Each structure stands twice: as C-alpha cells, then as structure tokens.
Amino acid sequence: NSIYLEGLGDVRPGLPTDLTRLEGLAEGVLSAQAFGYVAGAAGSEATARANRAAFDRWRIVPRMLRDVAERDLSVDVLGTAMPAPVLLAPIGVQSILHPDGELATARAAAAEGLTAVLSTAASHSMEEVAEAAGDGAPRWYQLYWPKDRDLAVSFLDRARAAGYTALVVTLDTFTLAWRPRDLDRAYLPFLRGVGVANYFADPVFQRAVGGPVTGANRQAALLHWVANFGNPSLTWDDLAFLREHWDGPIALKGIQHPDDARRAVEAGMDGVIVSNHGGRQVDGAVAALDALPAVAAAVGGRACVLFDSGVRTGADIVKALALGARAVLVGRPYAYGLALGGQAGVRHVLRCLQAELELTLALSGLTRPGQLTPESLTSAPVPA
C-alpha cells in the first residue's frame, strides 16, 4: 500500500498511473514521424490490435483468505536476478524520442534494478549505455544478425566486453516490414539525422565504409547499414555460429510456433521470447498471447519462456505469466515514458507496472509470480 500512502515518490514526473493514456500524451509532444515510428505497426495494424484484444479474452480468478502479507516478485531469468518479472524490450534509435535516448532508459532501469535489453540499432553505443547504467546494473544485448559475419562477431565481442550478460537474437526482423506510417513519412531519410551508433562506432563497420563515420561518408554509411542490417538467408543451422561466439545465455526473440520453440531447445538455446515485435512485422499474424500457451507446452520447462507484445498493465503481466511466461518484456509504454519525461518518465512506467503487478497478484490471492498457472485464469465470462 506504500504506493497509496507515498504516491510514486520523487520520480513521478506528473504522468498518469494509467499507462494506457501515455500514447495519447506522447502524440502531443512528438513529431508525426517520431510518434508514427513508435505507435505504428505493420499493414492494417490488425496484429497490433489483436495483441491487446487477446489479453481481454482472459480473466483472472481471484482467490481469498490465503495470507498474502509477505510478497516477493523477484525471479531469476537466464542467470540474471530481477526484482520483478519485467524487462525493458529492445527499442532502436531512442534518441528520436528524447535526446538522452538509451542512456536515460538504462539509468531508469538501473535505478529499479530491472534489466534493459539494448538494441543493436540503438542511437547510443553499447559501451556508452553500459557506462550510463553503471557497474553492476544488469544488462542484456539484442542482436540484429547482420549479413557480415565479422560484424556480427565484433558486436558479440564488444557486448561481452561491455558487460552484457545475455544475448537476445531477434529473428523476426531481417528486414523492416510493410509499415505504412513509416513509409508514408519517409522513415529512413528521417534516420539520417539520428545515426545508429553501434554500427558507426564499430571497427569492422568502419573498415567497410573506409574509416570513421563523418559528414562526408555518412550517407554511404547509412546505405551500408541498410544493406547489411539483416540476413534473410539464415537457417536453424546458423545457430551453431552464435554458440561458437557467445558463451552466455541466448534467447531467440520472435518465436510464435511451437515447432520453432522445439527447434530452439534442440539447438541448445537457453530461452525463447514469444513475440510478434509488437505487431510491427507480419500484419495478420497470430496475437502473441494466443501463441504463448502452445509454445510454453512445447518447451516444457527445458528452456526459459519469455513474452512480449501488448503488455500495458500489471494485470497483463499476471495473464502472460499464468499462460507460461517466466517474465515479460515491455516496449511502447516505456518508450512513451521516455518521450514524455526522459529518465524519470521511464522510471515512472517501471514503478507503475511493478506496483500494479504486486497489487494484482496479492489481491488475486498469490504472493509470488511462480504461483501463477493457467488455473489462475478463465477464458469464460464466469469461472466454471
């Protein structure tokens, strides 16, 4: 109840505690291009809507008189201790949203002890972000697997050296999808002013574009980035390459079919992230929450199952955990927090989510995330 007695404390930058209102507020402070980049999704945005609708089809069934005085939200995820089962999803080029971009996000996550996953397409380099987060702040690295193998190895070596402990490999975005909001607003030319620091700061990348990226070769560097960004030829056999070059835990992001989850386990992957990239890649794709139960069943405890796409509230987190996720990643809500309040805005979002999760769990009769099972939910209007 401390949240009612003390409010959200000194970090509250005047933002609403109903995080679903942040999108509308962010639209008021961002350019049309920047807002479209975050809020937009693929095609008709049917999958983005389906991600939300899927949560509405499940209801929590609260249980009473269960002594929920002592609560503990902490979990261990791929060797990282987390105070709550919430991570910050990788989001690229965050300086579009706030000049401090990923630095602000990393600081806010560190202040809460939560793990931020840094995108390969970040606007600040992984070394700068690690320094901003500070020693001991948990951090994971998300790989966009480039065509150039030497560049991929260089990313992994740098991430390890900068203290990123787990690797998230995003499989669903070897190319940007059909995103009308970005296409209509000439998104890539827009990026010219931002830059993708992990690439521009990379020695292998710099060799390929003939030296450090300056005004003179910036256009060529951006074109080289676009050409190299993803590799559509990759297959399951290529996962051996990752294992060879990364000795920490690896989670595959973008898994939506139980057979793919099984293959990930067979390939020795440590985790899968059930995700459709927030509906940004395949319009008409299955809602991520609808894909979760079958993936969790296929994995059967042999690897860690994580989830993202559509999480907006503490209750959403309860539902995803009940359907088989060990923890969730949150995307757009903290991006809007960043746009509206920089580091304090991100922290506001993280505090609200954790507090609402704790209250919802306790009021449902549970004290720990691990107690959630499918029996905690019902898909019918009235419990059977």
Gap between the Cα atoms of 67 and 220, Å rounded: 63
**With 0-12 CB in 10 A as exposed, 13-18 as middle and 19+ as buried, what is 214?**
exposed
Answer yes or no whether residue 310 interacts with ligand FNR by CB under 6 A: yes
Q: Which two tokens stand for residue 121?
A: 């397409």
Gap between the Cα atoms of 309 and 323, Å rounded: 14
Binding span for ligand FNR by CB under 6 A among 8-16, 255-263, 308-316, 346-354: 308-316
Answer yes or no whether residue 332 interacts with ligand FNR by CB under 6 A: yes
Gap between the Cα atoms of 325 and 320, Å rounded: 6
Binding span for ligand FNR by CB under 6 A among 85-93, 125-133, 207-215, 343-351: 85-93
User: Please, which residue, 43 or 90, has the CB nearer to ligand FNR?
Assistant: 90
Among 123, 125, 198, 309, which residue sits at the site for ligand FNR (rule: CB under 6 A)? 309
Gap between the Cα atoms of 271 and 280, Å rounded: 22
Count of positions on this chain that bind ligand FNR (CB under 6 A): 23
Q: Which two tokens stand for residue 325?
A: 């996720």
Answer yes or no whether residue 290 interacts with ligand FNR by CB under 6 A: no
CB atoms within 10 A of CB 35: 21
Answer yes or no whether residue 253 interacts with ligand FNR by CB under 6 A: yes
Binding-site annotation: residue ranges for FMN: 90-92, 119, 142, 170, 253, 275, 308-312, 331-332
CB atoms within 10 A of CB 7: 11
Nearest-10 crossing angle of helices 288-299, 46-56: 70
Binding span for ligand FNR by CB under 6 A among 16-24, 70-78, 273-281, 289-297: 273-281
Answer yes or no whether residue 121 interacts with ligand FNR by CB under 6 A: yes
CB 353 within 8 A of CB 314: yes
Q: Name the minimum Å distance from CB 187 to ligand FNR.
A: 11
Binding span for ligand FNR by CB under 6 A among 10-18, 185-193, 264-272, 275-283: 275-283
For the chain, what is the total number of helices (H) and then of strands (E)? 17, 12
User: Please, which residue, 88 or 361, has the CB nearer to ligand FNR?
Assistant: 88
Binding-site annotation: residue ranges for glyoxylate: 37, 144, 179, 277, 280
Answer yes or no whether residue 230 interacts with ligand FNR by CB under 6 A: no
User: Please, which residue, 170 or 343, has the CB nearer to ligand FNR?
Assistant: 170
Q: Which residue is catalytic, options 98, 224, 277, 348?
A: 277
Radius of gyration of the chain (CA): 20
CB atoms within 10 A of CB 213: 23
Is 277 annotated as catalytic? yes
Among 35, 37, 164, 229, which residue sits at the site for ligand FNR (rule: CB under 6 A)? 37
CB atoms within 10 A of CB 116: 29
What are the φ and ψ backbone dihedral angles of 167, each rounded to 5 degrees?
Answer: -115, 130
Gap between the Cα atoms of 250 and 245, Å rounded: 11
DSSP percent split of the chain into helix, strand, coil, nearest 5: 50, 10, 40
Residues 164-183 that bind ligand FNR (CB under 6 A): 170
Among 22, 91, 110, 196, which residue sits at the site for ligand FNR (rule: CB under 6 A)? 91
Among 19, 132, 303, 311, which residue sits at the site for ligand FNR (rule: CB under 6 A)? 311
CB atoms within 10 A of CB 3: 16
User: Please, which residue, 38 or 156, has the CB nearer to ligand FNR?
Assistant: 38
Using Cβ positions, the residue closest to ligand FNR within the complex turns out to be 331
Q: Name the minimum Å distance from CB 206 to ligand FNR.
A: 21
Catalytic amino acids? 277
Residues interacting with ligand FNR, by CB under 6 A?
37-38, 51, 89-92, 119, 121, 142, 170, 253, 275, 277-278, 308-311, 330-332, 335
